[in-house]
Structure 1
Amino acid sequence: MADQGTRVALVLGTSAGGVGRHVAMLAGGLVRGGHRVVVAGPPSTERAFGFAALGARFAPVPISDRPRPLADLRAVLALRTLRGAHVVHAHGLRAGALAAIALAGTGTGLVVTLHNAATAGGAVGAVYALLERIVARRADRILVVSPDLGERMTRLGAGQVEAAVVPAPSLPPSGRDPGDVRRELGTGDRVIFLTVARLAQQKGLETLLDVAKELRGARGAEPGMGPAPGAAAGSVAAGPAPGPGERAPEAVFLVAGEGPLRGELQERIDRENLPVRLLGDRSDVGDLLGVARALVVPSRWEGQPLTVQEALRAGTAVVATAVGGIPAMVGEAGLLVPYGDIGAMRDAVARVLADEGLAGELAGAAARRGRGLPGEPEALEAVLAVYAGLS
């Protein structure tokens, strides 16, 4: 079924980041391989990612980021036009469930890649639980970005679940001198910790602000810090902490990204005078990684986060919560702590701040890890193998 000339429909919902970039990568690669590709999704995704410019046909379908009954009905009706495809590959839970409903009884092969966990509660959480059951029982193949998602889909009755390959695109070097980047940022000689994230609930940014507050308050105290409580197996052991009377360097936390929590986060930063700066969306993440001591990921959940892959390829250490697909991705290249354990996250950041030897060891491990990450050829090979396996 994945012979040259296969008709492939890629379906996605609202996206301004990783999912859209992944679909664009697949669309472009499939077109170059001689396959006929249609991308179905909200018009905003075509404006953001330019699927038509990659050689795919774009079909506008109103798949929103949350349940909307009338829009969802229109989406199902629009997705019925994809029945002529050899395979429909939906990305995300909502896109997958709507595609499953639209294709019911047609015999069209359906692949669903789950890029995120459903973390909402209440009525919205109940709706997402229903969508999970629909995907688990109706998709021919389910690709997951983390082991916990795969276990959940299997429990819900999914027949065939496999690991997804979702590589980050390479960050082209800008040629800017790190000193110029620092001067533009105005960070002086402070040690930079970078977070790249949408300013949204899943990303756990309130924990980052808690860590910044505690480190600012503890600066100049005698640390005496041992291994971070709850550090995941495989994390590099701590180096020496500053001795009695020594002061750790001063840190500044930079957050690149936009989202609905910007106002709330900025209000707290201002009120508590925290050493945190919200940079907004940035096109120079590679430059930011080049001047950061570590990437800090305080998320409630992540699959195969593109920003972590970018950090590893850049040789930047990682301090992150041990959730979803992060532990398998980071390995020995970072310090991992349980989500919600502010003390453990604070201690992990403080160790990297105070110990340049540890930071260098982690950076070297990150670079080695980054060289082994899969890229676009591996991702295309993996999805073509899945398509070929559909009966």
Structure 2
Amino acid sequence: MTPVSSHAPHGRPPLRTVQVLGGGNAAGGAHVRSLAAGLVARGVRVTVCAPEESDGAYGFTGVGAELVHVPRSSDPASVAALRAACSGADLVHAHGLHASFRTSLALGGRGTPFVVTWHDRAYAEGPRAHFLRVLERRVVRAATVVLGTTSALVDRARRSGARDARLAAVSLPGPRSAPASEEAERRRPKVRAELGAVDRPLIVAVGSLERHLGHDVLVDAAHAWQRLDPAPLVVIAGEGPLHGELRRAVETRDLPVRLLGRREDASDLLAAADVAVLPCRSEDARSTFAQEALHARVPLVASRVGSLPELVGDAAELVPQGNARALADAVTRLLTDPEHRESLVRRGVRQAATWPTEDQTVAQVLAVYDELTQPRPLT
């Protein structure tokens, strides 16, 4: 970060912002922590409204922000708590659809500048899909500015009626420091042993078990890898509605696949992996997993869909979405060709260097805040 001495020129009181987080999105939580740290370093007062347990995961108070416990619920008590926390704020910034909806209820058109960041879009089928579209329209029409992390999300916000929608690609923390990298490398044999991949390749996927993320395609592809010697182990970290279907497919076909459930050590899984796989059918978000894989120098195979080609460039093997055969062939090429793996790793390092830094992300967001807030009177 490049801190400045204060964001309160000429004796004016410092800018006070409220960041509202639902608590269920890892990318959103990491971004809010990074944003809070950068804003505080620039003299901005930051209040984070989120479930209190999120502070243990992201450390908002550790970077100088105030934490106000607001449950994820949209019931009247939660909305009232959020309304009280936003009282007197110069600007309110909500992250994610549900947090943004609660915030729109809490603000109630009081005129406070209201910024919304969309890190992803919510996926659903049937009646719930219609309900989510209604929420999206309400949120973007209430927002002063909508920031989308990808071009697809910006376009979606504009189609839903946003007055002002802009691209604002968020950053992840960069590569681990040397001590952290050394610790991850030290843990690699232990993690592989725990997973059962001591003498076999390890393929890792991370994400909720939902249809649009395509883990069923990865399970189908695993059938082709059984003929390799040794057969690689596929591990999928995540939970969701597709779990039962995936488990039955693995057991019925006796596939070398382990469903790990929810894990808090995705970085350790990646550090232990030989190949990372992102088999999604659609991806409007700026994929956290793809960024983490390239930062971790792990070869990535991903679907050629949505925002992924723009994000990874030539630093990943891109395959048609939903095509288990193409996915299987791409992974097989990587496992059997060390030079190709190393080439992808080198390209990944170059590609990651083109992504915005945390400092650049904070500066862009602060420029939006400055645009939306008027000079405050002297105290």
- Mark yes or no: TM-score above 0.5: yes
User: 1:323-365 CA deviation, whole Å, 9 max, x = no partner?
Assistant: 3322111100012223223233223223323333322221211
1:204 is aligned, of 191, 197, 214, to: 214
1:300 is aligned, of 278, 281, 288, to: 281
2:196 is aligned with 1:215: no
2:67 is aligned with 1:58: yes
SS in 1 for 2:171: coil
Q: For residues 249 and 145 of structure 1, do their structure 2 counterparts lie closer, same or farther at Cα, with a shift above 3 Å needed?
A: farther
Shift of 1:208: 1.1
2:45 is aligned with 1:36: yes
User: 1:161-216 CA deviation, whole Å, 9 max, x = no partner?
Assistant: 12223222244311417555544543243222211223444432111111112332
Counterpart residue number, 1:15: 24
1:154 is aligned, of 152, 158, 181, to: 158
Structure 2 counterpart of 1:378, one-letter code? Q
Query: What is the distance in 1 between the residues matched to 2:267 and 2:299?
Result: 14
Structure 1 counterpart of 2:220, one-letter code? D
What pairs with 1:259-274 in structure 2 (closer than 5 Å)? 259=240, 261-274=242-255
2:348 is aligned with 1:366: yes
2:338 is aligned with 1:356: yes
> RMSD of the TM alignment (CA)?
2.6
Q: Which runs of 5+ in 1 are unaligned?
A: 65-70, 220-246
1:134 is aligned, of 119, 138, 148, to: 138
Query: What is the distance in 1 between the residues matched to 2:162 and 2:312?
Result: 28
Counterpart residue number, 2:79: 76
**Aligned residues of 2:150 and 2:169 also touching (Cα < 8 A):** no
**Aligned residues of 1:62 and 1:74 also touching (Cα < 8 A):** no
Counterpart residue number, 2:170: 166
Of residues 350-359 and 285-294 in structure 1, the stretch that sits farther from structure 2 once superposed is 285-294
Q: What TM-score, normalized to structure 1?
A: 0.82
Query: What is the distance in 1 between the residues matched to 2:7 and 2:145?
Result: 18
What pairs with 1:204-283 in structure 2 (closer than 5 Å)? 204-216=214-226, 219=227, 250-259=231-240, 261-282=242-263
Query: What is the distance in 2 between the residues matched to 1:366 and 1:52?
Result: 33
**Aligned residues of 1:145 and 1:325 also touching (Cα < 8 A):** no
Structure 2 counterpart of 1:326, one-letter code? L
Q: For residues 127 and 72 of structure 1, do their structure 2 counterparts lie closer, same or farther at Cα, with a shift above 3 Å needed?
A: farther
Structure 2 counterpart of 1:347, one-letter code? D
Shift of 1:290: 3.8
Query: What is the distance in 2 between the residues matched to 1:90 and 1:152?
Result: 17
Q: How many residues align?
A: 355
SS in 2 for 1:89: strand
**Aligned residues of 1:91 and 1:114 also touching (Cα < 8 A):** yes
User: 1:21-52 CA deviation, whole Å, 9 max, x = no partner?
Assistant: 22122223222322111111233423433423
Q: Which runs of 5+ in 2 are unaligned?
A: 1-5, 9-13, 374-379
Q: For residues 179 and 126 of structure 1, do their structure 2 counterparts lie closer, same or farther at Cα, with a shift above 3 Å needed?
A: closer
Query: What is the distance in 1 between the residues matched to 2:277 and 2:341?
Result: 13
2:126 is aligned with 1:122: yes
**Aligned residues of 1:295 and 1:319 also touching (Cα < 8 A):** yes
Q: For residues 324 and 83 of structure 1, do their structure 2 counterparts lie closer, same or farther at Cα, with a shift above 3 Å needed?
A: farther
**Aligned residues of 1:200 and 1:259 also touching (Cα < 8 A):** yes
Structure 2 counterpart of 1:78, one-letter code? A
Counterpart residue number, 2:377: none
Structure 2 counterpart of 1:196, one-letter code? V
Counterpart residue number, 1:101: 105
Query: What is the distance in 1 between the residues matched to 2:95 and 2:332?
Result: 38
Q: For residues 40 and 284 of structure 1, do their structure 2 counterparts lie closer, same or farther at Cα, with a shift above 3 Å needed?
A: closer
Query: What is the distance in 1 between the residues matched to 2:364 and 2:40?
Result: 16
Of residues 347-356 and 139-148 in structure 1, the stretch that sits farther from structure 2 once superposed is 347-356
**Aligned residues of 1:304 and 1:325 also touching (Cα < 8 A):** yes
**Aligned residues of 2:189 and 2:198 also touching (Cα < 8 A):** no
Query: What is the distance in 1 between the residues matched to 2:56 and 2:67?
Result: 11
SS in 1 for 2:24: coil
**Aligned residues of 1:167 and 1:309 also touching (Cα < 8 A):** no
**Aligned residues of 1:178 and 1:287 also touching (Cα < 8 A):** yes
**Aligned residues of 1:318 and 1:330 also touching (Cα < 8 A):** no
Query: What is the distance in 1 between the residues matched to 2:78 and 2:126?
Result: 24
Query: What is the distance in 2 between the residues matched to 1:201 and 1:13?
Result: 23
Shift of 1:54: 3.1
